[in-house]
Structure 1
């Protein structure tokens, strides 16, 4: 079973890498030109599993505050194509590029002079050859043993769709404020833009000669998972539970009297208190850490507190 799972993941990674290799600078430039020329709505369409991918991409673009619509290819032939015009931009997803409903929709879009970008597995299929731009965003090798389940193909379409979303966001000068405003009941909307200074936790501050026995006592007395080394006016280092555990593991018989300065992180990651929770989360992800020391924006040597993932879970 492990091999089956691992092989499936490998096949999808390979499909993504192949897709990336086939994306050219010229294609990217044409894509951005079409996005910049569009003044109406952005349309995504697909059938079956490709339709689900189109739905997701449409939803992501809507969260940017941009007019986007999912168009069901079959329903389009029964009136839903009515409002569309040449100011719109259409993205059609079809792995094979031979889906009858997508071909029919493409024909109607072309009659209305609507620019069409297609996401398919090659450049030689019927859908791709009639497009203003075709992007390789599919695969002829699915990730299941029978090569029939939409897996690698839908993964490629989703990743390319997300890349397109990011390109659109960049062109429209999208910001985290817009995203949060469009997600008032989501975790991002509720927490991402909170001032970091309102979410801080105080932690014990010890000096560099404090023995680890005392450090352990300080760690156990709180729930922040760390202690700071130095003073309120001068940050010298940081000790986390992980640092202490490693010290005990390496010195199981005499760890108690080791001074804090021997195991502390001398240059802990810091952020000033003018930033937001979103900024802190991004920085923690970037450095793969769970704790950031927050300093005052007008004096980066003075400690304001810490922001930790441990504390975040309690908010």
Structure 2
């Protein structure tokens, strides 16, 4: 491929992005009372927000419904053709319907209007033609008109679908803010995602406790402490006093530092070589906070204590990696 062709193709791609960006910016200038009325209607909705559309508008509608549902607005998508054959029963009194159609004349959507009028719902239309049938019949009309499609033939929905998608995002984010939706709320809708793991998984969910917790009493010989570390496989052991209060920690790194000083370990007790100010964390803290603490202090493990300072668990970086918190 010669450089001239490459340049022309890059120019074409840049032109597409410019046209679609201009379409979105034009929407910004047209936001008015109708947008605010749509926000108020959705906030006051006693039911769900139902989204519908056919063809490319349907694809955009599905994404808008998914974004709304994950940001605090109960929403789902209904295909207009399926609605005409029974799924209309999914739309009940008290719902709000958001109907997408660039032309405002999509037969499958228009065919639903008589039945919808008999229901106690609010109809919000998002179209590119304020004078269309759907726009006229709607309680609220959102103008998503674009000056031109990015498709050079003017046929494939490009700028119009981008504009509709952006307007749907504007609805979702404005509603999110109005509902004081938080990261924690988002995580509850995304328990399988990375955000859900970071905001829902606590130290107590990952820590080693009970028989899997490496721990020795103060005064234990270093040899016995090493056996405990080997049995539990965490690369460390906690050291507690007779009242189960945490008094220290001994790690693989401490062992290497001890061996740098002497190869004779036979006469050493754990108290002689342990680190007396171990990094600790509460079992109720988020696992993501444990990651931050380890990174800040450049350690690979933490001991878990209760409010009284009693040892209750241990956690290392491998646990966090395995749980995909890191």
Q: TM-score, normalised by structure 2?
A: 0.59
| Correspondent of 1:185 among 183, 189, 192 | 192
SS of residue matched to 2:98: strand
Instruction: Report the counterpart of residue 272 of structure 1 in structure 2.
Output: none
Instruction: Report the counterpart of residue 55 of structure 1 in structure 2.
Output: 62
Instruction: Kindly state the Cα deviation for residue 104 of structure 1 after the two structures are TM-superposed.
Output: 1.2
Instruction: Report the counterpart of residue 47 of structure 2 in structure 1.
Output: 40
| Correspondent of 2:165 among 158, 161, 174 | 158
Instruction: Report the counterpart of residue 3 of structure 2 in structure 1.
Output: none
Matched, 1:12 2:37: no
Q: CA RMSD in A?
A: 3.3
Q: Is the 8 A contact 1:119 1:138 kept in 2?
A: no
Instruction: Report the counterpart of residue 176 of structure 2 in structure 1.
Output: 169
SS of residue matched to 1:116: strand
Matched, 1:96 2:89: no
Matched, 1:84 2:83: no
Larger Cα-atom Rg: 2
Question: Matched residues in 1 for 2:288 and 2:17: separation?
Answer: 30
Question: Matched residues in 2 for 1:20 and 1:65: separation?
Answer: 23
Q: Is the 8 A contact 1:119 1:157 kept in 2?
A: yes
Counterpart mapping for 1:93-172 below 5 A: 93-172=100-179
Instruction: Report the counterpart of residue 64 of structure 1 in structure 2.
Output: 71
Instruction: Kindly state the Cα deviation for residue 84 of structure 1 after the two structures are TM-superposed.
Output: 2.1
Q: Is the 8 A contact 1:46 1:94 kept in 2?
A: yes
Q: Is the 8 A contact 1:58 1:70 kept in 2?
A: yes
Q: For the structure 1 residues 276 and 121, does the alpha-carbon distance in structure 2 shift closer, same or farther, using more than 3 Å as the test?
A: farther
Question: Matched residues in 1 for 2:18 and 2:183: separation?
Answer: 33
Instruction: Kindly state the Cα deviation for residue 56 of structure 1 after the two structures are TM-superposed.
Output: 0.9
Of 76-85 and 63-72, more deviation after overlay is shown by 63-72
Question: Matched residues in 2 for 1:66 and 1:133: separation?
Answer: 18
Question: Matched residues in 2 for 1:135 and 1:90: separation?
Answer: 13
Counterpart mapping for 1:272-283 below 5 A: none
Q: Is the 8 A contact 1:121 1:140 kept in 2?
A: no
Matched, 1:31 2:23: no
Question: Matched residues in 2 for 1:123 and 1:27: separation?
Answer: 12
Q: For the structure 1 residues 314 and 79, does the alpha-carbon distance in structure 2 shift closer, same or farther, using more than 3 Å as the test?
A: closer
Instruction: Kindly state the Cα deviation for residue 97 of structure 1 after the two structures are TM-superposed.
Output: 0.7
Instruction: Kindly state the Cα deviation for residue 83 of structure 1 after the two structures are TM-superposed.
Output: 3.5
Q: Is the 8 A contact 1:88 1:114 kept in 2?
A: yes
Q: For the structure 1 residues 194 and 132, does the alpha-carbon distance in structure 2 shift closer, same or farther, using more than 3 Å as the test?
A: same
Question: Matched residues in 2 for 1:7 and 1:278: separation?
Answer: 43
Q: For the structure 1 residues 115 and 3, does the alpha-carbon distance in structure 2 shift closer, same or farther, using more than 3 Å as the test?
A: same
Instruction: Kindly state the Cα deviation for residue 85 of structure 1 after the two structures are TM-superposed.
Output: 2.4
Q: For the structure 1 residues 36 and 142, does the alpha-carbon distance in structure 2 shift closer, same or farther, using more than 3 Å as the test?
A: same
Q: Is the 8 A contact 1:43 1:58 kept in 2?
A: yes
Q: Is the 8 A contact 1:193 1:278 kept in 2?
A: no
Instruction: Kindly state the Cα deviation for residue 276 of structure 1 after the two structures are TM-superposed.
Output: 8.1
Of 108-117 and 26-35, more deviation after overlay is shown by 26-35
For 1:88-127, what per-residue CA distance to the aligned partner results, in whole angstroms no more than 9, with x for missing partners?
Answer: 0000000111111111123321221311111111311111
Query: Where does structure 1 lack aligned partners over 5 or more consecutive residues?
Result: 196-274, 280-293, 296-302, 306-311
Question: Matched residues in 1 for 2:125 and 2:145: separation?
Answer: 11
